[in-house]
Amino acid sequence: MTILGVDHVEFSVADARQTASSLCRVLGFRVLGQGGPESGLDGALSVLIGQGEARIRLTSGLNAAHPASGYVARHGDGVSAVAFRTDDAAAAYADAVAAGASPLAPPSVSEDEHGTVTCASVSGFGDVAHHLIERQGAGNGLPGITAAPDAEPDDTGGELLIHGIDHAAACVPGGSLEATALYYEKAFGFRLIFEEYIEVGAQAMFSKVVQSPSGTATFTFLEPDLSHRAGQIDDFLAWHEGPGVQHLALTTTDIAATVTELSARGTQFAQTPPSYYAMLGERIGASDVPVERLAPLGILVDRDHWGRMYQIFATSTHIRRTFFWELIERHGSRTFGTSNIPALYAAKERELAAFRETTEAG
């Protein structure tokens, strides 16, 4: 079996329609379809939104027994599944289970006028599952989801601000990083492409990045160094009540224009001090995007062996501060650089400081 990429990411949320409306307004997604008991979904309401190749499924339980309701009760709104597109869902399911994955749903086939979809589900990490999706035909539909009247089978979501999903970043408890990365290598055929030990002040963390052989599905896993002072990863694990997806990175082909547009729509982004740009040329060489465009927006620049990347974190609007979005534009880069990590960490630290004080006081 071959993992062809990320088919969609599923969020379990308290109110799928309200969340969909918000993401369409501030990030430029559009509704591609929705479903509920009337379309075959048992005890749930789902809204499918998309833009470019990015697909987000938002699911709310309609009763306390539904898994989405349980997820929200434990963690608040968040990523409950990352669906992998595969060339053979049954084989992917069998391989993953043989490698130690817990079977959650065996392969099942659904069909409409656009083709057939085979779906199966296995465990990932924490309460995050992986759906295995095999498509035969032109459609991008999902079982139980009725396409919006104006959505074409291969709808890309209209004018594009976002083009796809670059990676998911997840936090795991201290001491579990090695086993988590190894699980993805064995169960899904991923490869370790990057690892780093990061110290920022008195805080520290370990990072491993695993990626499908196709290069189209990537996870960054982070664990705290328990010998150092507790920091952002520890905060996430406490506030989220366990491991989970901390952020999703969305790709764009013009990050400066996208940040400008999303800011006008109400998205807030992390602030970067002017001093970051003072020695930028010496750190990463000549930038493909003029610093005069980057600095006013707070966009960071990094590089790996193959090229440059431009990144920025959005400010978290999550009530627990356990999820946020990242924008990334790659100019040849394939992995991740290291020079941005202190700046990204510091930007998020400034945002979380006040929330942390409020939480500790409570």
Angle, helices 177-188/89-98, rounded to nearest 10 degrees? 140
The answer to whether the CB of 119 falls within 8 A of the CB of 90 is no
The verdict on whether residue 167 carries a ligand-binding annotation is yes
- Say how many residues make up the chain: 362
Residues 92 and 98: their CA atoms lie apart, in Å, by 10
To which residue do tokens 């999303």 refer? 262
Residues 42 and 48: their CA atoms lie apart, in Å, by 16
Residue 90 bridge partners (DSSP): none
Backbone region of residue 208 per phi and psi (left: phi > 0; alpha: psi in -120 to 50; beta: other values): beta
The verdict on whether residue 247 carries a ligand-binding annotation is yes
User: What is the C-alpha R_g of the chain?
Assistant: 20
Closest among 34, 76, 21 to 265, alpha carbons compared: 21
Residues 290 and 247: their CA atoms lie apart, in Å, by 27
Give all strands (DSSP E) within the chain, no chain letters: 3-12, 30-35, 44-51, 54-61, 78-86, 103-112, 115-125, 128-137, 146-147, 164-171, 191-200, 203-211, 218-224, 244-251, 300-303, 308-313, 324-331
Q: Which residues are annotated as a binding site for Fe cation?
A: 167, 247, 326
Q: Which residues are annotated as a binding site?
A: 167, 247, 326
